[in-house]
Structure 1
Amino acid sequence: MPMIDLNSDLGESYGDAIVGDDAAMMPLVTSANLACGAHGGDPATMAAACASAVAHGVAIGAHPSYDDRAGFGRRDLEVAPAVLAAQLRAQLATLTAAAEAAGGRVRYLKPHGALYNRIVHNPARAAVVADAAAAEGVPLMGMPGSAAERAAAAAGIPFLAEGFADRAYRADGSLVPRSEPGAVLHDPDLIAARAVRLALEGVVETIDGSLIALPVRSLCVHGDTPGAVAIARAVRTALLDAGIAIESLV
């Protein structure tokens, strides 16, 4: 039976700012990429998200970012390697403490936003992120064929290849920037069909209508997209109806 992991970026609320619906999303996924207090998340949110993940048997992943709450971690900032390494260590330590307090542990690392996109092509920055994952003894999740995948191999840690069911791709395999029209998909049926095709065939249709190979082991549905719960439910149902087991990778 084919198998796929279903992950989502969660735990991104902070203070009075509510981002997504963690309570509704958590039962639908098998891995939760939890914000670590930089782009989103605060102590109460992290504690609640970790407790919910443990209760639902969902793997906890660290979802660190640039220290950029004002830009929600989606601005491509120039950060010195040593500064980025320190930011990652601090964020991982914060989430690790919350996970352990909830009776769980951090099982993998998936960077957020601009940092995730930067380490697709930037070997130096990818090495900093891979080293942070290696220091925690956890796999790195990212885009297949990327500098991140090569950095994980160099650091001696597993790499979890990920695809996005709810994002548009370019013909070169990169994501269409959120600043461009059509970058984020919203039709649950369309997204679900893309998810099934990715899981079964390892291909995705790009924004120009071509097909590209995308061998992935995990699929992401974003928790902050409008209608995220309906999208995640449609994806989960379609995968199961297609005979695809949904299980975490770690």
Structure 2
Amino acid sequence: MRFVTSANIACGGHAGDEDTMRETIELAKKHGVSIGAHPGYPDKRNFGREPVKMDPLALTEEVAAQIRSLIDIANAAGAKVRHVKAHGALYNQADRDTEIARAIASGIYDDARGAGLLVFAAPRSAMLDAAKAMDLRIAREGFIDRAYEPDGTLRSRKLPGAVHTDPKVAVAQAIGFIRDGGVRSHDGTFIRLEVETLCFHGDTPGAPTIAAAVRDALEREGIEVRPPAWQ
């Protein structure tokens, strides 16, 4: 936790319960890390990484309930939820599926407007457009531990080379996003993707080492590292 500036906390859908939410919030408070809600499909068996067919209204209500559960626990702990980001298959589908993106944005809307939550979304995505349409604050996100396709979407985890576990690769990708304004796809194609926040996954093999290496590299490059939700 000490290497990051923002944390996406599972709020009972794909993972997590009241105890884990409370514990993670306390850890974030200890390290001065910005707290974010991380709603996903209610599918703990697959960790929210497989699509779940849901009616748009039901999806909106599910997303809203998950965000609210984290906000309530954070408030009780004297902390504040500052951003929200969809998880796994929900995030990936919202990249291109306008109906799903709008359903998520609708679930975020009340708390994003009332609590000033920042919405993390992929550049060029339907999720970004849906959030903009509702006049929500946004931060475009790039991944440092995932490979990209030439069209700017994430390479499926089911394909080889989808996850970067080498800290040197993650560092190069992070610096590329910031210095070059984009990323190289798995086949070497340069994709222009301007981002305000960088993400890596806590379950990526060697995640703590990757986080430490990237944080150190950014600071050595003279790049200020701070939570986008605090700007």
Q: Does 1:91 align with 2:66?
A: yes
Partner of 1:14: none
Distance (whole Å) between structure 2 residues aligned to residue 158 and residue 201 of structure 1: 24
Number of residue pairs aligned between Structure 1 and Structure 2: 225
Give the counterpart of 2:123 among 115, 120, 144. Answer: 144
Moved over 3 A (4+): none
Amino acid at match of 2:139: L
Match of 1:43 among 18, 40, 43: 18
Look up the match of 1:30: 5
**One-letter code of the match for 1:173?**
G
Question: In the TM superposition, what is the alpha-carbon distance from 1:97 to its structure 2 partner?
Answer: 1.4
Task: Judge conservation of contact 2:63–2:108 (CA < 8 Å) in 1.
Answer: no
Per the TM alignment, residue 214 of structure 1 is displaced from its structure 2 partner at its CA by: 0.9
Match of 2:90 in 1: 115
| Residue aligning to 1:182 | 161
| In structure 1, distance between residues paired with 2:157 and 2:17 | 25
How much does 1:157 deviate?
A: 0.5
**Following the alignment from structure 1 to structure 2, what is the Cα–Cα distance between the partners of residues 133 and 160?**
14
Return 5+ residue gaps in structure 1 as ranges. 1-25
Q: 1:158 is matched with which residue? A: 137
Q: Partner of 1:132 in structure 2?
A: 107
Shift of 1:187: 0.4
Which one of 208, 216, 219 corresponds to residue 237 of structure 1? 216
2:170 corresponds to: 191
Identical pairs, percent? 44
Q: Distance in 2 between matches of 1:106 and 1:43?
A: 15
Q: Say whether residues 1:217 and 2:196 are aligned partners.
A: yes
SS at match of 1:232: helix
Aligned partners of 2:145 and 2:66: how far apart in 1?
26
TM-score of the aligned structures, taking structure 2 as reference length? 0.95
Give the drift of 1:219.
Answer: 0.4
- Maintained 8 Å contact 1:193/1:238: no
Residue 196 of structure 1 and its aligned partner are, at CA, apart by 1.1
SS at match of 2:82: strand
**CA separation in 2, counterparts of 1:209 and 1:164?**
16
Equivalent-residue separation in structure 2 for 1:93 and 1:149 (angstroms): 21
Residue 105 of structure 1: CA displacement? Answer: 1.4
Counterpart contact for 1:54–1:102, Cα < 8 Å: no
Quote the RMSD (CA, aligned, Å).
Answer: 0.9
Deviations 1:40-76 (A, max 9, x none): 1121111010011122211111000011101100001
Structure 2 SS opposite 1:34: strand
Q: Distance in 1 between matches of 2:141 and 2:64?
A: 23
CA contact (8 A) 1:143 1:163 kept: yes
Distance 1:197 1:237 in 2: 15
Any gaps of 5 or more consecutive residues in structure 2? Answer: none
User: 1:54, 1:103 within 8 Å by CA — same for their partners in 2?
Assistant: no
Kindly indicate whether residue 31 of structure 2 is the aligned counterpart of residue 56 of structure 1. Answer: yes
How far off is 1:139 after superposition? Answer: 2.1
Deviations 1:127-148 (A, max 9, x none): 1111222210222111011111
Whole-angstrom distance in 2 between the partners of 1:58 and 1:189? 24
C-alpha distance in 2 between matches for 1:45 and 1:51: 10
